[in-house]
Amino acid sequence: MKALGEVYQCDAQAKEQRLEYHQTHSAPVMQELKGWLNEQMDSRKVEPNSGLGKAIGYLRKHWRSLTLFLRPAGAPLDNNICERALKMAILHRKNSLGYKTIEGARVGDLFMSLIQTCRLNGVNAYQYLLALARNVVAVTLNPGAWLPWNYPKSSPADPTPAPSLAA
């Protein structure tokens, strides 16, 4: 975990020339990690069927894919963004089993899309939806200004505080 933490720290520091930076700083850490993994299994320090043994086996089996960020320029360290997006789609699919009508499903899909768009733009979805409901006239007159990516810049100060959910 410490070795992977160092790699993520290197990734945070690398803004430009990412590939060169990773090849210089992260590749030695990854090579050291690979050596350690191989030593654990080759010298039988870890039981292959244990939790650690299975994790080491996974890393060794997928080493080429897991170190892809060391080869093509711009390759990310992980696919967490995609995983989070898929998680939301799966959660929505599960929740949509409760829709009773096609119209209910359409409205649910619309809200789910809107909430996810708010998340991707760093906007509090609850506050955003409250602001839309409280400013219907302004939203109707200029809907583009109220899109989630424009909302923080264009919305007027909302004089009515949002009710607290933690009571």
In this prediction, residue 160 carries a pLDDT of: 46
Domain boundaries, the chain: 2-70, 80-154
Give the number of C-alpha atoms closer than 13 A to the C-alpha of residue 167, restricted to the C-beta side. Answer: 4
In a structure prediction context, what are the per-residue pLDDT tens digits for the chain, which is 167 residues long?
Answer: 888 888 888 777 664 578 888 899 999 999 999 999 999 999 999 999 999 999 999 999 999 999 998 888 778 888 888 888 788 888 888 888 888 898 988 898 888 889 989 988 899 999 999 999 999 999 999 999 999 999 876 555 544 444 444 44
In this prediction, residue 80 carries a pLDDT of: 85
Give the number of C-alpha atoms closer than 13 A to the C-alpha of residue 58, restricted to the C-beta side. Answer: 7
